[in-house]
Copies of this chain bind each other. A is one copy, B any other.
Amino acid sequence: MDNFEFLSPTKIIFGKGAEDQLVREVKKLGKKILLHYGEGSIKRIGLYDQVVKSLQEAGIDFIELGGVKPNPRLSLVYEGIKLCREHKVDGILAVGGGSAIDSAKAIGVGVPYDGDVWDFYCGKNLPEETLPVGVVLTLAATGSEASNSSVITKEDGWLKRGLNIDLIRPVFAIMNPEHTFTVSRYQTACGGADIMSHVFERYFTNTKNVELTDRLCEAVLKTVVNNLPVALAQPDNYDARAELLWAGTLAHNGLLSTGRGGNGDWAAHKIELELSGLYDVAHGAGLAAIFPAWMKYVYRHDLNRFVQLAVRVWNVEPDFANPERTALEGIDRLTKFFKECGLPTTLAEMNIPADRLEEMARKATRDGQMVIGQFVKLTTEDVVAIYKLAL
């Protein structure tokens, strides 16, 4: 096991009626709040009205900025920063999924910073201060509600980049599984793929003797495998939605990285970010195509680990004479699972042509100046090969 530090101070308020605690929690953000949200789904489910009413009844002063898009954009972050400065906002309440939260985190670190907030995303600088961010979550997917991550897309060049720092972990997260009942079948599946991918990024490590966190990872994966099909078939199945919602948080709050050397592999995510940056496909859908391809490309690096995944998560009967067969069967079952959930598992299914693979690979590796990944370090050529396996 490797050395680690772990701090996950986000207060979780989970369950039916969790939003009744909103006022108690939101007061911790300060006196003047920015209410930040997306393109309307929170209005359709009545959550917007409920939140606004709670804030008004409690006499909490707030301004609003809606319109966060999936793959949240830098231009709206700039707008949010300007608004917060003008109105002397103390804290931000994000209502929605990962996009609204990531955007709120970016605004939070941007407000007290003299320079361009993009500096934090392109690695030029690290934030030292933030406005506090609270969350009312409506989607089981990114884990942003308790994570140290924020991913923002800069429209100029469609660059999608992430910031990872404990400073930006939300102060609280209100999580009512009922708020996810109306998430579409496709978005639910994408969320499940995202959660599983967050676990995979941690699962594939070169650190030996990590039994506890291996098993915690497997626990989260099995829970998604068992509950995602239920949620797809019965969108208002509270327990399945609850399992997915809590799994999404634990997949990405850092617990599953503890002792495993750094924060994970993240090559597949970086490879996918170029896809969803350039073609604006759903992040989870991109991952459903990229992860099996990445696995096929790297499994020989640690065959035993892939056998373990196949046996423990996919219940593959081990072929002791031919462990490679077991490992590949595990990857195959992952692909089949994604397909059964209605996700694309090839770039073709997302109408992504083969003509810009090298361009994306170069962007992912910063023009070949970086190798990506920890488990296996990948060059531009490796990334092209993985895109091709996903065609």
Chain A residues within CB distance 8 Å of chain B: 1-9, 11-18, 21, 177, 208-209, 211-212, 215-216, 218-220, 222-223, 226-227, 238-239, 242-243, 246-247, 250, 255, 258-259
Question: How far is A226 from B220 in the complex, measured between Cα atoms in Å?
Answer: 20
B14 pairs with A239, CB closer than 8 A: no
Q: Which of B2, B9, B250 contacts A15 (CB 8 A)?
A: B2
A3 and B14 contact, Cβ closer than 8 Å, known pairs A209-B243, A227-B211, A246-B212? yes
A258 and B246 contact, Cβ closer than 8 Å, known pairs A8-B8, A15-B4? yes
B1 pairs with A11, CB closer than 8 A: no
Q: Which of B7, B21, B246 contacts A12 (CB 8 A)?
A: B7
Question: How far is A355 from B246 in the complex, measured between Cα atoms in Å?
Answer: 48
- Chain B contacts for A255, CB-based, 8 A: 255
A4 and B8 contact, Cβ closer than 8 Å, known pairs A212-B219, A219-B219, A258-B246? no
B212 pairs with A223, CB closer than 8 A: yes
- Chain B contacts for A209, CB-based, 8 A: 239, 242-243
- Chain B contacts for A177, CB-based, 8 A: 1
B259 pairs with A242, CB closer than 8 A: yes
Question: How far is A219 from B15 in the complex, measured between Cα atoms in Å?
Answer: 24
Question: How far is A3 from B175 in the complex, measured between Cα atoms in Å?
Answer: 10
A259 pairs with B8, CB closer than 8 A: no
Question: How far is A255 from B239 in the complex, measured between Cα atoms in Å?
Answer: 18
Q: Which of B12, B211, B220, B239 contacts A6 (CB 8 A)?
A: B12
A6 pairs with B11, CB closer than 8 A: yes
- Within the complex, the shortest CB–CB distance from A10 to chain B, in Å, comes to 8
- Within the complex, the shortest CB–CB distance from A72 to chain B, in Å, comes to 27
Question: How far is A208 from B209 in the complex, measured between Cα atoms in Å?
Answer: 33
- The CB with the most chain B CB atoms within 10 A, among A6, A11, A209, is that of A6
B11 pairs with A7, CB closer than 8 A: yes
Question: How far is A223 from B18 in the complex, measured between Cα atoms in Å?
Answer: 33
Closest-by-CB residue of B relative to A227 is B211
B15 pairs with A211, CB closer than 8 A: no
- The CB with the most chain B CB atoms within 10 A, among A14, A18, A177, A238, is that of A14
A7 and B7 contact, Cβ closer than 8 Å, known pairs A1-B243, A212-B220, A259-B14? no
Q: Can you list the 5 inter-chain pairs with the closest CB atoms, starting with the nearest? A: A3-B15, A215-B219, A209-B239, A9-B9, A1-B242
- Within the complex, the shortest CB–CB distance from A216 to chain B, in Å, comes to 5
Q: Which of B14, B223, B227 contacts A5 (CB 8 A)?
A: B14
